[in-house]
């Protein structure tokens, strides 16, 4: 009579995801520098699969800034250098952000391009992500062309034209 059978509760409201994003956001915005932020976030003990959300949050926070802040590039670089499991998600996010560049306003587009230029320049992500870029009239939009223009301008500024050219020709 008083017995209850075990029930599994499924949360379809994504409350846990929202709470995770909120915690990451607050941690990022309360940190003095990227090193402190990385340290705090590393201590969070993420569950498997939540790493991707962390990577998305880095880019989302970066994109919403008025101007590009190197803090986010350095933070993402640190995570890629500390644990290789973050490289794959950032590479996928690069491909997704390029494919959906037309959805970004000019400011977000600039910040996202500069963020990924930093990750490419520092070899935090593989240059093989550039294989998704096909420069022809059918495969590009005005937004994706701006994305690539800003990306290459940043890379040229970081590396110099000769090193960038050598890097692009390197198989």
Tens digits of residue pLDDT in 27-75? 999 999 999 999 999 999 888 889 999 999 999 999 999 999 999 999 9
Average pLDDT, stretch 66-95? 97
Q: Which residue has the higher pLDDT, 118 or 49?
A: 118
* Cα atoms found within 13 Å of the Cα of residue 136, Cβ hemisphere only: 4
List the one residue out of 73, 77, 42 whose CA is nearest residue 59.
73
Full residue range of the structural domain in which residue 114 is found: 15-169
Whether residue 6 lies inside any domain: the answer is no
Domains identified in the chain, total number: 1
Q: Report the Cα 8 to chain-centroid distance in Å.
A: 34
pLDDT band at 8 (very low <50, low <70, confident <90, very high): confident
Domain CATH number, residue 29? 1.25.40.180
Where does residue 149 fall: left (phi above 0), alpha (psi -120 to 50 degrees), or beta otherwise? alpha
């Amino acid at each position: 009579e008083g017995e209850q059978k075990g029930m599994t509760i499924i949360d379809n409201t994504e409350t846990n995801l929202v709470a995770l994003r909120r915690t990451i956001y607050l941690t990022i915005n309360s940190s003095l520098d990227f090193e402190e932020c990385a340290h705090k976030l590393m201590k969070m003990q993420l569950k498997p699969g939540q790493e991707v959300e962390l990577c998305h949050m880095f880019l989302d926070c970066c994109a919403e800034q008025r101007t590009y802040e190197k803090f986010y590039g350095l933070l993402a670089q640190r995570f890629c250098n500390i644990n290789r499991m973050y490289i794959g998600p950032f590479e996928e996010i690069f491909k997704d952000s390029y494919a959906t560049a037309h959805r970004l306003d000019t400011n977000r587009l600039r910040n996202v391009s500069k963020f990924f230029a930093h990750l490419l320049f520092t070899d935090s992500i593989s240059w093989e992500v550039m294989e998704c870029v096909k420069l022809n009239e059918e495969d590009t939009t005005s937004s994706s062309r701006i994305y690539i223009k800003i990306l290459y301008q940043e890379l040229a500024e970081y590396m110099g034209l000769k090193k960038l050219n050598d890097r692009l020709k390197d198989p």
